[in-house]
Chains A and B, each alone.
Chain A
């Protein structure tokens, strides 16, 4: 005859305690066994159930106290510390796990602060050339879907500029223009992005239809006719091709450049683009900085090389006309180029455009002055020389003040310091974590390699503190960049804070550690060396103090 099955409550009680005993910490497992033995003796099933419930809570508390006890011991140790000087024991770290955990917690907390998060994201993003992660791209697409649903054309246009995928970006841009035709200029922002994308002739046609007096839209068209591979031979020489018909797209390029040079106005839409980006980011602050940066940098500017090439060509035509005895024709050509350059100077919205335009104006004025001198028009030659002098002074002043070039050595040094500290912190954190894993998981293995064990112990002891110091230094060094970011976010218009922010990001990106490897620089190497030397000195000082405290003077 088989024994009757115990009631469910008692079965659950016994099974749960049996399971708990199996995983009970070794040092107190016998108490779990005692609780289990009592459960068998309890007649009332529900009483047995509550008895076991108390046992399970004791099991959890035992684990907690076991964990707390482990936290009080150094990494790699599960029993009480071996007294100093007992000899024979393996070399182990001195700092308890709790200290290590607290220091790492402090590092994580620093990096989780809003300013810490920005600093970490921006620096990490600069290592990736400000490229976006798949998760970030998905976030932008989600926001774009919301903007499409809400019929928010400006926000959709902003997100089209942030979207790296050409097809999706084109879709968003077309939808934005469909919703608000005045946004047609954003086609210029998406022009040839990425670089190898075939230019959309329809977009250029629509830009020209909507803004026919703007030289910029014809410059874009001219650029679209240039095939860099086919033009490379002509590109390397300084003269006009002997047989222009053999250079693909040459006559179309020339025609478009002629239209650009005679257009009454120049507007590259750079300010509209910057303002759209700033407002869009303010509206959707969750758009990652990498994609905002992508948007800021995605706006096309005229190809300076092509503009200069065209100007040189026209100047040579003027010189030929003069040599052929047609000074009025030569003057006409040079005046046209000079006016075009002046329109570019007046309409430029970025330092890069303005400085290029100054150079075009300078070349045309110089040739015009020479023409007047050669034809004996002394008064005109003097007036043009004065204009040329003013132009050169203006160019010099602008060059000094230009944001792109205003970035001082101090900011460059700061960028290198930020990158060096971030890189050093990451490297030491990785090695420290590796050492901790080694000490915790492979205790028997590292004891066979005492030198590796010694390094692991020192890293476990001092690594977290060094990482904390480096992380704090990194955040302090990042402050000027954080300030530029904050000013950009809170600026009343994109023209005031935008260029400074973009140039600071540019400098930070240029100072990233992978660039050091590909383009070694003395300044970067010096900073790196300084940080390494200071870290070693700090390690030695800390190590000596700890050793002196641990080992009595008479035993040293």
Chain B
């Protein structure tokens, strides 16, 4: 499905963060804090995940007063399976280590 992704350590960090609460919708800033990725690194990865169909996105229904609605992200059903597989494979090849325990 979708285009083939180049899996970097930063992408794996993000996938791990998204899998911590897979059904939960995440904000971009929160993901940045969890992964330690800067916005200039985080958003291109989110854009690629979205383009390849592994990510679901939506806009916040009830934004805080005076603030614009925020964009929310979570892995799609297939995306979660794919992400777990990628993380396991990366761990086995010792390319990447989980920051938050076993995936």
Contact = CB atoms under 8 A, between A and B. Distances in A.
Interface in B4-38: 27-29, 32, 38
A36 B68 CA distance: 8
A34 B40 contact: no
Interface stretch (A37-45, A95-103, A134-142): A37-45
B85 to A, nearest CB: 27
Interface in B25-58: 27-29, 32, 38-44, 46-47
Contact of A35 (B28, B63, B67): B28
Nearest to B69: A37
Contact of B40 (A33, A38, A53): A53
Contacts of A38: 27-29, 39, 70-71
A237 to B, nearest CB: 91
Given A38-B28, A41-B27, A61 B44 contact: yes
Interface string A145-179: 00000000000000000000000000000000000
Max chain B Cβ within 10 angstroms of own Cβ: one of A30, A35, A38, A42: A38
Given A34-B28, A35-B28, A40 B43 contact: no
Contacts of A34: 28, 43, 70-71
Contact of A33 (B38, B44, B71): B71
A24 B47 CA distance: 15
Interface string A5-39: 00000000000000000000000101101111110
A355 B57 CA distance: 91
A61 B41 CA distance: 11
A41 B71 contact: no
Nearest to B41: A54
Question: Which label, helix, strand, loop or mixed, suits the secondary structure of the A interface?
Answer: helix
B47 A41 contact: no
A35 B43 contact: yes
Nearest to B68: A37
Contacts of B71: 30-31, 33-34, 37-38
Contacts, number: 61
A207 to B, nearest CB: 77
A34 B39 CA distance: 11
**Interface footprint category on A:** 20 to 34
Contacts of B68: 33, 36-37, 40
Contacts of B47: 28, 31
Given A33-B71, A34-B70, A41 B29 contact: yes
B70 A37 contact: yes
A405 interface: no
B40 A37 contact: no
A54 B40 contact: yes
A28 B51 CA distance: 11
A49 to B, nearest CB: 11
A473 B75 CA distance: 59
Given A41-B27, A42-B29, A54 B67 contact: no
A58 B43 contact: yes
A54 B38 CA distance: 7
B39 A54 contact: yes
Contacts of B38: 50-51, 54
A55 B29 contact: no
A78 interface: no
A51 B67 contact: no
Nearest to B28: A38
A510 B43 CA distance: 65
A57 interface: yes
B40 to A, nearest CB: 3
B7 to A, nearest CB: 20
A35 B40 CA distance: 10
B29 A57 contact: no
Contact of B67 (A40, A53, A57): A40
A152 B61 CA distance: 83
Nearest to B27: A38
Contact of A58 (B27, B40, B60, B70): B40
A410 B40 CA distance: 65
8 contacts: A30-B71, A35-B43, A37-B69, A38-B27, A38-B71, A50-B38, A55-B40, A58-B44
Given A38-B27, A50-B38, 6 more contacts: A35-B28, A37-B69, A38-B28, A41-B27, A50-B39, A58-B40
Q: Which 3 A-B pairs have the closest CB atoms?
A: A54-B40, A54-B39, A34-B71
